[in-house]
């Protein structure tokens, strides 16, 4: 047939292998030439591309529980990092305020998610604050005789931090260390002279048992604050048992959001 070689003219396997290697080498040389001609722009773009993009706020509620927890957790971690950044703390901008709000609201949303609940209010506030904390305003023009404000707006926030506990436990989780470090930083920057550390429980268990458990939780957080350098006279510890749940439940129900210690500014 036209276009077909007789079988005695077909390349041998060794010849085909050599031809394939030659073709691969030619392609590699052509790719290298194109790469050098563009200055490596394609590779640079690929390297600069973010590994993971966050889901837009409107789509958060449509995610499954695990994916939503991951998204909210990433916002919480980002907010926590900003609140511990000395440049953000001392800057004359609202980023610190919104980061503190995002940390608090995302923490509440994560507490709900631990019990399998998607709370649209805290999720919405978490996303809104996270979006606002990323806005970088242009630096203000400061006269030579003026100095930037040191006291951030978040110093007026009543709640300095919240630590959630496992069921029937008074041992602070590993994540409590980040919250404690943040509160210690605020105490120094804001010159707070009083911190009220209040323990709470869910409604599983007797009133007397939960009252004692809430006090043990508060004492554990108070000890962490003092170990980080907060004077003992600044920390005031108390327990409310199951009398002030963050999420109303029926008696006997276990709820991770209610198992907490709140640190408020006195």
Strand partners, 237: 197
Q: Which residue has the higher pLDDT, 235 or 1?
A: 235
Mean pLDDT value of segment 65-72: 92
Q: Tens of pLDDT along 223-239?
A: 999 999 999 899 999 99
**Domains identified in the chain, total number:** 2
Range with lowest mean pLDDT among 53-67, 125-139, 198-212: 53-67
Element (H, E) at 190: helix 176-190
Q: Which residue has the higher pLDDT, 184 or 148?
A: 184
Q: Which of 6-10, 42-46, 53-57, 162-166 has the highest mean pLDDT?
A: 162-166
Residue 157 is encoded by which pair of tokens? 């926030």
Q: Which residue has the higher pLDDT, 13 or 197?
A: 197
Which positions ≥6 away from 136 have C-beta within 8 Å? 93, 95
From 101, 136, 171, the end of a domain falls on 136
**Location of structure tokens 């109303």:** 248
Per-residue pLDDT band for 30 (boundaries 50, 70, 90) equals: low
Spatial contact of 103 and 122, defined as CB atoms under 8 Å apart: no
The answer to the question of residue 240 being in a domain is yes
Q: Which residue has the higher pLDDT, 158 or 240?
A: 240
Question: 221 and 189: one domain?
Answer: yes
* Cα–Cα distance measured from residue 247 to residue 119, given in angstroms and rounded to the nearest whole number: 11
Question: 71 and 129: one domain?
Answer: yes
Q: DSSP secondary structure string, 71-136?
A: HHHHHHHHHHHHHT-HHHHHSSSSHHHHHHHHHHHHHHHHHHHHTT---HHHHHHHHHHHHHHT--
Range of the domain at 63: 58-136
Q: Tens of pLDDT along 159-189?
A: 889 999 999 999 999 989 999 999 999 898 8
Question: 124 and 184: one domain?
Answer: no
Determine if the pTM surpasses 0.85.
no
Q: Tens of pLDDT along 9-22?
A: 444 444 444 445 54
CA diameter of the chain: 100
Per-residue pLDDT band for 75 (boundaries 50, 70, 90) equals: very high
User: Domain of 242: which CATH number?
Assistant: 3.30.1330.60
The proportion of the chain whose per-residue pLDDT surpasses 70, expressed as a percent, equals 71
Residue 22 is encoded by which pair of tokens? 């030659």
Question: 130 and 188: one domain?
Answer: no
**Location of structure tokens 């260390």:** 177
Which positions ≥6 away from 206 have C-beta within 8 Å? none
């Amino acid at each position: 047939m036209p276009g077909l070689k007789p079988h005695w003219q077909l390349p041998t396997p060794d010849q085909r292998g050599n031809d394939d290697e030659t073709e691969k080498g030619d392609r590699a040389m052509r790719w290298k030439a194109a790469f050098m001609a563009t200055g490596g722009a394609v590779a640079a773009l690929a390297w600069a591309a973010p590994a993971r993009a966050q889901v837009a706020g409107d789509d958060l509620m449509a995610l499954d529980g695990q994916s939503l927890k991951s998204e909210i957790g990433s916002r919480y971690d980002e907010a926590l990092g900003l609140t511990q950044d000395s440049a953000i703390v001392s800057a004359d901008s609202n980023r610190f305020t919104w980061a503190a709000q995002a940390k608090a609201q995302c923490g509440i949303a994560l507490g709900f998610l631990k019990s399998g609940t998607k709370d649209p209010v805290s999720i919405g506030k978490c996303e809104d604050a996270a979006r606002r904390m990323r806005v970088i305003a242009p630096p203000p023009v400061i006269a030579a005789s003026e100095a930037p404000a040191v006291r951030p707006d978040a110093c007026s926030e009543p709640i300095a931090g919240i630590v959630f506990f496992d069921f029937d436990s008074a041992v602070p989780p590993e994540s409590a260390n980040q919250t404690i470090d943040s509160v210690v930083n605020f105490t120094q920057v804001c010159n707070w002279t009083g911190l009220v550390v209040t323990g709470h429980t869910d409604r599983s268990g007797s009133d007397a048992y939960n009252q004692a458990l809430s006090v043990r939780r508060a004492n554990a957080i108070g000890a962490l604050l003092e170990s980080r350098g907060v004077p003992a006279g600044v920390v005031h510890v108390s327990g409310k048992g199951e009398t002030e749940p963050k999420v109303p439940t029926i008696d006997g129900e276990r709820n991770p959001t209610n198992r907490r210690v709140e640190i408020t500014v006195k």
